[in-house]
C-alpha cells in the first residue's frame, strides 16, 4: 500500500478511487469497491442519496437510468428519480449489466451494506452527500448509519472518513451534528470567501482545471475546525501527466477513475 502515497513538495499525495474503480467495475457498487481494494486503493469516493421510503443508497446520478435497467423494469416511472423509488423497487434493478454482462447481479447498495464491505476491506471513505437539498435531513441520517457501523468511533473518524459535498450548508450541518467528522467542500470558492468556510470545512476539493499553485497556497494558509491546515484534493484526474502536474502544484490528494494508474504516475 505504500505505493499509494508518495513524496511531493507538500509531503504525500493521497489517491482516491472515484466511485470505486469505475473503469474496471460498475461505479458505486460493491464490486467496484472490491476491485478498488484488489488494486490496492486505500481510499474510495462514493455518493449517497435517499430512496422514497427513506433508505440511504450509494449512487451518483439523481436518476436511475444511466447505471441501472430502471426504464426496462419500470417503463412508466419517468423521470426515474432515485427519490421516487422504494428500496425494494431499487433492489430489483440490475446495476451492473450496463457496464458488462459479468456484473449483471450487481445491485445498488445501501449505505449500510457499503460500510459493512469497507469494514471488511479496511478501506477509507470520502463520502459525498449528493444533491442534499433533495433529501432534507440526510446529514443526520448518514451520520446515524456511519455511527451504527462504527465509523464515528475515535480511530475511524480521525483517520478513515471525510464527508464532502458541493453544498456548504450540508457540511455546516454535518459539522454541527458531529464536530469530530472531517468535511470537504467541493468546488473552488473565491479566495475572499474561503475564510468563512474554515468554521466547518477541513478540505477544499476543486475540479483539477481550477487548481493553481497560488490557489493551493492560499487554501493551505488556512486552518480548519480541527486546527489543521486545510487540504486540497483535485478531481477527476485520470492521466499521468496531469497527476504529476497536480502533485507538483502541491495538492494533498487526487480523486481518480484510474487510481492504480495515478498511483504509479505519482509514485
The partner in contact with residue 186, picked from ligand G3P, Ca ion, none with C-beta cut-offs of 5 to 8 angstroms by kind, is ligand G3P
The yes or no reply on residue 211 touching ligand G3P (CB under 6 A) is no
Which among 214, 209, 207, 203 has a CA at the least distance from the CA of 252? 203
Which residues on neighbouring strands pair with residue 206, listed in sequence order?
Answer: none
Residue 46 makes CB contacts below 8 A (sequence gap 6+) with 19, 20, 28, 33, 58, 114, 125, 126, 127, 128
Question: Rounded CA gap, 150 and 13, in Å?
Answer: 26
Residues annotated as part of the active site:
18, 60
Residue among 62, 48, 55, 40 at smallest CA distance from 86: 55
Stretch near Ca ion under the rule CB under 5 A, chosen from 7-15, 121-129, 196-204, 248-256: 121-129
By the rule CB under 6 A, 43 interacts with ligand G3P? no
Interface residue with ligand G3P among 30, 186, 204, 243 (CB under 6 A) is 186
The binder of 106, among Ca ion, ligand G3P, none, by C-beta within 5 to 8 A per type, is none
Strand duo 56-58 + 161-165: pairing: unpaired
Question: By CB under 6 A, is residue 47 in contact with ligand G3P?
Answer: yes
**Residue in 128, 139, 202, 252 binding Ca ion, rule: CB under 5 A:** 128
Query: Does position 143 bind ligand G3P by CB under 6 A?
Result: no
255 contributes a contact to ligand G3P by CB under 6 A: yes
Determine the Cα–Cα distance for residues 253 and 128; give it in Å rounded to an integer.
16
Sign of CA pseudo-dihedral 152, 156, 158, 160 = negative
Q: Does 203 bind ligand G3P (CB under 6 A)?
A: no
Name the residue with cell 457496464: 99
Is 202 a residue that touches ligand G3P (CB under 6 A)? no
Kindly determine how many residues on this chain lie close enough to bind Ca ion according to the rule CB under 5 A.
Answer: 2
| Residues counted in the chain | 267
Question: Which one of 94, 106, 128, 139 is in contact with ligand G3P (CB under 6 A)?
Answer: 128
Q: How far is the CB of 29 from ligand G3P (least distance, A)?
A: 15
With binding defined as CB under 6 A, does residue 45 bind ligand G3P?
Answer: yes
Residue pair 224/206 in contact (Cβ under 8 Å)? The answer is: no
Relative to beta strand 124-129, strand 161-165 is parallel
255 binds, options Ca ion, ligand G3P, none, Cβ within 5 to 8 A by partner type = ligand G3P
User: Does 47 participate in binding Ca ion (rule CB under 5 A)?
Assistant: yes
Q: Give contact residues for ligand G3P (rule: CB under 6 A).
A: 18, 45, 47, 60, 128, 186, 235, 255
Amino acid at each position: 500500500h505504500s505505493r499509494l502515497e508518495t513524496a511531493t513538495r507538500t509531503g504525500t499525495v493521497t489517491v482516491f478511487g472515484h466511485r470505486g474503480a469505475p473503469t474496471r467495475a460498475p461505479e458505486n457498487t460493491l464490486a467496484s469497491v472490491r476491485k478498488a481494494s484488489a488494486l490496492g486503493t486505500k481510499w474510495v469516493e462514493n455518493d449517497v442519496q435517499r430512496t422514497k421510503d427513506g433508505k440511504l443508497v450509494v449512487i451518483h446520478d439523481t436518476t436511475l437510468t444511466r447505471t441501472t435497467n430502471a426504464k426496462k423494469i419500470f417503463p412508466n416511472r419517468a423521470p426515474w428519480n432515485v427519490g421516487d423509488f422504494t428500496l425494494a423497487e431499487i433492489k430489483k434493478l440490475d446495476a451492473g449489466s450496463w457496464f458488462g454482462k459479468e456484473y449483471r447481479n450487481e445491485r445498488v447498495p445501501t449505505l449500510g451494506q457499503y460500510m459493512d464491505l469497507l469494514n471488511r476491506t479496511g478501506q477509507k471513505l470520502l463520502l459525498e452527500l449528493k444533491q442534499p437539498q433533495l433529501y432534507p435531513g440526510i446529514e443526520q441520517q448518514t451520520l446515524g448509519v456511519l455511527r451504527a457501523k462504527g465509523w464515528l468511533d475515535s480511530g475511524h473518524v480521525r483517520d478513515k472518513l471525510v464527508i464532502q459535498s458541493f453544498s456548504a450548508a450540508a457540511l455546516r450541518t454535518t459539522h454541527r451534528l458531529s464536530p469530530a467528522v472531517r468535511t470537504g467542500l467541493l468546488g473552488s470558492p473565491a479566495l475572499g470567501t474561503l475564510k468563512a468556510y474554515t468554521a466547518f470545512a477541513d478540505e477544499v476539493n476543486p475540479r483539477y482545471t481550477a487548481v493553481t499553485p497560488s490557489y493551493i497556497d492560499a487554501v493551505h494558509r488556512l486552518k480548519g475546525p480541527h486546527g489543521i491546515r486545510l487540504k486540497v484534493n483535485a478531481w477527476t484526474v485520470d492521466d499521468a501527466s496531469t497527476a504529476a502536474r497536480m502533485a507538483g502544484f502541491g495538492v494533498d490528494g487526487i480523486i481518480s477513475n484510474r487510481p492504480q494508474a495515478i498511483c504509479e504516475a505519482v509514485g
